[in-house]
A and B are shown apart, each in its own frame.
Chain A
Amino acid sequence: MSLFAFFRERRKQNSASIAKERLQIIVAHERGRHSQPDYLPQLQKDLLEVIRKYVPIEQDQIQVELENQGSCSILELNITLPDRDR
Chain B
Amino acid sequence: MAKVLVVTSGKGGVGKTTTSAAIGTGLALRGHKTVIVDFDVGLRNLDLIMGCERRVVYDFVNVINNEATLTQALIKDKRLENLYVLAASQTRDKDALTLEGVGKVIEELKGSFEYIVCDSPAGIEKGAHLAMYYADEAIVVTNPEVSSVRDSDRMLGLLASKSKRAENGEDSIREHLLLTRYNPERVNKGEMLGVEDVEEILAIRLLGVIPESQAVLKASNQGIPVILDEQSDAGQAYSDAVERLLGKEMPHRFLDVKKKGFLQRLFGGNE
Knowing A1-B271, A2-B267, A5-B268, say if A20 contacts B154 (CB, 8 Å). Answer: no
Nearest residue (CB) in B for A33 is B157
- Please give, as numbers and ranges, the residues of chain A lying within 8 Å of B267 by CB-CB distance: 2-3
Interface residues of A in 10-43 (CB under 8 A from B): 14-17, 19-20, 22-24, 26-27, 30-31, 34-35
Q: A15 to B191: give the CA distance in the assembly, Å.
A: 5
Say whether B230 faces chain A, with CB atoms less than 8 Å apart.
no
Knowing A19-B146, A23-B149, A23-B201, say if A30 contacts B268 (CB, 8 Å). Answer: no
Knowing A20-B201, A30-B153, say if A15 contacts B146 (CB, 8 Å). Answer: no
CB distance from A31 to the nearest CB of B (A): 7
Knowing A2-B268, A14-B190, A16-B187, say if A27 contacts B201 (CB, 8 Å). Answer: yes
Chain A interface helix/strand/loop/mixed: helix
Interface residues of B in 177-192 (CB under 8 A from A): 187, 189-192
CB distance from B37 to the nearest CB of A (A): 28
- Please give, as numbers and ranges, the residues of chain B lying within 8 Å of A17 by CB-CB distance: 190
CB distance from A37 to the nearest CB of B (A): 11
Nearest residue (CB) in A for B197 is A20
**Cβ of B154 and Cβ of A2 under 8 Å apart?**
no
The 3 closest A-B pairs by CB, nearest first: A2-B268, A14-B190, A20-B197
10 contacts between A and B (CB under 8 A): A1-B265, A2-B266, A2-B269, A5-B268, A14-B190, A19-B146, A19-B197, A20-B201, A23-B149, A26-B150
